Structure 1
Amino acid sequence: MAEARIPLPDPDSMTPEQRAVYDTVVSGPRGAVIGPLRAALHSPELADRWQRLGEILRYRLTLPKRLGELAILVTARRWNAELEWVVHAEAALAAGLAPAVVEAILDGRPPRFSDPDEAEVYVFVRELQLSGRVGDPAYEAVRSRWGERGVVELTALTGYYTMVAMTLNAHRIPLPDGLAAAIHPDGEPLVPSLSGIPGVPA
């Protein structure tokens, strides 16, 4: 397995500040320190703020977990963030996202959604990832269904997991033992067409 570009703090050699953050994460809903927090622990104050924000965005959203995980998958595949993809593909399936949707995103194909709320989230996140902006139809679709709080949280979730993806890729954070790779982290960022998705002009 490839090694990270920087040392990843081990619990036995952490400073007291690092260990305090580590213990908080392990005792919370994540249950383990993996991914970008392993790098962020080099800056304990940053890691602490990071994990608090991440806990809100992953576990306390207005949107159903299925939709949050969909947004994370779109982001992970956009940036070829291997660890982000592997962890959240499993979480998305467990939350009820259809395997065919996960497979289509992995393959770079526009998914065929049976639920309009999934299509709306997909379009919103893809537009945001492609241009840094969201058109009025996509924005209003999410806001009308989930309100101002929902559309603010979805935007924050997308931005947060973009930061996660870039951290994983920049430092080459490896997959935990036992997890198999699904995408190549050094490949070109994926920018599939949005044609065929409800609400997007052909």
Structure 2
Amino acid sequence: MTQPRIPLPALSELDPHVIEQLERRPPVHLYRMMAYAPGLLEPFMSMVMANFDQLSLPPALREALILRVGQHHRSEYEIYHHRIKAREAGLTDQEIATLLDPSSPPLNWEKDRRTAIEFVDRLLEGRDLDKALVGELVDAFGYRGYVEISALTGFYRMVATFLEATNLQPECVRVI
């Protein structure tokens, strides 16, 4: 297993307030690495929790979109954690495998979910988000859903970039 580009901070080096924040969440490497930037830790963890607790999107769709971001960025860490969450949200192993294989034919899902996947794919690939696709997404999920899908994609894209920069690997045991 490869090592992180910088070491995880030792708990003894962290401010007690940061340790308190970390103790309120599962002991994942991502949070601990983020602890080097104490001013970002709480907002970061709040955004993670908002993505799980505050979205109107069905959990299975949320996880499908996160897996698609992880696949696009080849983020082992993101894929590892969200494959588990996707199963918990009701996605089958076949659906997960298809989401993680860009050469697979599209999932045989209802049009709304296929539209969301296509939107995320185009967004990640820097392709045109034409008026028709945007209209289909808004028709399916409303303005709130459009913003949630866009923000979720952007957030997990940022997470994937951070994971690449730090070379964090999944924890050896399941922690979430």
TM-score, with structure 1 as normaliser: 0.78
Quick one: distance in 2 between partners of 1:35 and 1:145?
36
Matches within 5 A, 1:175-190: 175-178=170-173
Quick one: distance in 2 between partners of 1:58 and 1:130?
25
SS of structure 2 residue aligned to 1:107:
coil
Structure 1 match to 2:166: 171
**CA 18–111 in structure 1, closer or farther in 2 if over 3 Å, else same:** same
Matches within 5 A, 1:140-159: 140-159=135-154
Q: Check the 8 A contact 1:124/1:134 in 2, yes or no.
A: yes
Confirm or deny that 1:14 pairs with 2:14: yes
Q: Check the 8 A contact 2:30/2:168 in 1, yes or no.
A: yes
Bigger helix share: 2
One-letter code of the match for 1:172?
N
Structure 2 match to 1:87: 81
Aligned-residue identity in percent:
27
* RMSD over aligned Cα atoms: 1.8
Structure 1 match to 2:58: 64
From 78, 81, 101, the counterpart of 1:107: 101
Q: Check the 8 A contact 1:101/1:113 in 2, yes or no.
A: no
Structure 1 match to 2:37: 43
Structure 1 segments of 4+ aligned residues over 3 angstroms from their partners: 10-13
Shift of 1:12: 4.3
Confirm or deny that 1:98 pairs with 2:92: yes
Structure 1 match to 2:117: 122
**CA 71–44 in structure 1, closer or farther in 2 if over 3 Å, else same:** same
Q: Check the 8 A contact 2:138/2:146 in 1, yes or no.
A: yes
Aligned residues: 173
Post-superposition Cα deviations, 1:154-182, rounded to whole Å, max 9, x if no partner, equal 10000000011011111001210147xxx
Q: Check the 8 A contact 1:35/1:83 in 2, yes or no.
A: no
Post-superposition Cα deviations, 1:22-77, rounded to whole Å, max 9, x if no partner, equal 133x2xxxxx1314322211011111111111211233211111111111011000
Shift of 1:139: 1.6
Shift of 1:138: 2.2
Q: Check the 8 A contact 1:21/1:44 in 2, yes or no.
A: no
